[in-house]
Amino acid sequence: MEDLVEGIVTGFPVGLKRSKRGAKGPAERKAALSAEPSAWKRRYAQYASHLVQRLGRCLLATAPAKKSVATSTLTMRREPLAGLMAGLCMGLAALCMAAPALADASSADSRTDRPTLLVMGDSLSAAYGLERPEDGWVSLLAMRLEGEARVVNASISGETSAGGATRLPKLLGQHSPDIVLLELGANDGLRGLAPSQMRRNLESMIEKSQASGARVMLLGIDIPPNYGDAYRQAFTGVFDDLAERHELPLVPFLLEGVALQDALMQDDGLHPTAEAQPIILDNVWPTLAPLLEQAKPEAAAGKEAISPDSSAAVSPSQPVPGALPAQA
């Protein structure tokens, strides 16, 4: 069996090895290969057939097939069955060898005692403009929760609340999250879209997430004052009203301590730098940590349908003036 395995690994007809070894340079090797294409094809076919036959005999412990006196070639009566059985045995052997690794990966990914967090956001959560995506605050969150929770980042730069509402149902079905973090609306504001439209989209996402058994957490954002006080108040009021109506934990302003610091913002003045990402995580963590503690026993119990707990909610407050939102 060892010499058979070696033949499969080396996998090259002896005649072709010698021809290539004798040729000097790529041009001559190419010429050697193309000199008698039919001969090389026939040699490869014979070599492959020989390996299949030997493998079938080793696996099935069958006796060598008889040679025909008239043709001095192997009869074909047993070769189809031998080849088929050899292929089946090879497949079963591969599955048996891979089964432990697959089982470990599946069990690690599907542990019911680990909550799953789904982050639905825009460029602020998609590490836009960072040289290393792993420096983004969501990646930092995943590292902090390694072994304790599974973090799925479904954020897309340039995403609006309408885009998130469209994508969410499929993501809920794929990942069955215990917690959904909604960080959307900045691009709605930059485009001057109606706050009432953003409210409908976010509320739809909240209701669908809760219907799937997930807890929801809102990450609020602000827009520059030059949009006008009336529009700005209507925009920021959406997050406050939804958090109060649905009793949701709320981070009033995701970029607290970042947006007004030029050193922590990229050249576009809209997106935070890598140095700002730990600060953003620190803004999220105090509100998220209690939610995680509540989700852990529910995940261990099989993630039954839940209703938001008002004790986990954070009282909304006014956003920091002069904040700059994100866009892609």
What are 207-245's pLDDT values in tens digits?
999 999 999 999 999 998 888 999 999 999 999 999 999
- The answer to whether residue 268 is catalytic is yes
- Residue of 19, 188, 209, 271 marked active site: 271
170 and 296 part of one domain: yes
Looking at residue 11, its amino acid is G
**Lowest-confidence segment of 68-72, 231-235, 296-300 by average pLDDT:** 68-72
* Domain stops at, among 73, 107, 141: 107
Task: Answer yes or no: is pLDDT of 258 > 70.
Answer: yes
> Which CATH number characterizes residue 235's domain?
3.40.50.1110
The reported pLDDT for the residue numbered 325 is 42
Task: Provide the residue range defining the domain that includes 221.
Answer: 113-312
- Asked if 199 and 296 touch (Cβ cutoff 8 Å), the reply is no
In terms of domains, do 191 and 134 share one?
Answer: yes
Q: Are residues 102 and 215 in the same domain?
A: no
The reply to whether 87 and 117 lie within a common domain is no
The mean pLDDT value for 248-262 works out to: 97
| Coil vs helix vs strand at 128 | coil
Decide if 322 is inside a domain.
Answer: no
pLDDT of residue 228: 92
Both 87 and 133 in one domain: the answer is no
Average pLDDT over residues 278-288: 98
The string of pLDDT tens digits covering residues 151-163 is: 999 999 999 999 9
Are the beta carbons of 7 and 55 closer than 8 angstroms? Answer: no
Given a contact cutoff of 8 angstroms between Cβ atoms, the answer to whether 93 and 60 are in contact is: no
From 19, 123, 139, 209, the catalytic residue:
123
209 is catalytic: no
pLDDT band at 26 (very low <50, low <70, confident <90, very high): low
Q: Which of 104, 268, 282, 309 is catalytic?
A: 268
Do 32 and 20 form a contact (C-beta atoms < 8 A)?
yes
Residue 43 has pLDDT above 80, yes or no: no
181-207 mean pLDDT? 97
Same domain as 140, residue 87 = no
Q: Name the domain boundary from 68, 88, 107.
A: 107
> Residue 245 and residue 146: Cα distance in Å, rounded?
33
Domains contained in the chain, number = 2
Query: Of the candidates 124, 161, 319, which has an alpha carbon nearest to the alpha carbon of residue 229?
Result: 319
Can you name the residues that pair with 181 across neighbouring β-strands? Answer: 119, 217
In this structure, the answer to whether residues 118 and 236 fall within a common structural domain is yes
What's the average model confidence in pLDDT over 57-80?
49
Element (H, E) at 41: helix 37-60
Q: What is the pLDDT of residue 307?
A: 41
Residues 72 and 185 in one domain: no
Strands annotated E in the chain? 116-121, 150-153, 179-183, 215-219, 250-251
Average pLDDT rounded to a whole number, residues 179-199: 97
Place of tokens 């058994």: 213
Residue after which a domain boundary falls, among 75, 107, 139: 107
SS3 288: helix
Per-residue pLDDT, averaged over 260-288, amounts to: 97
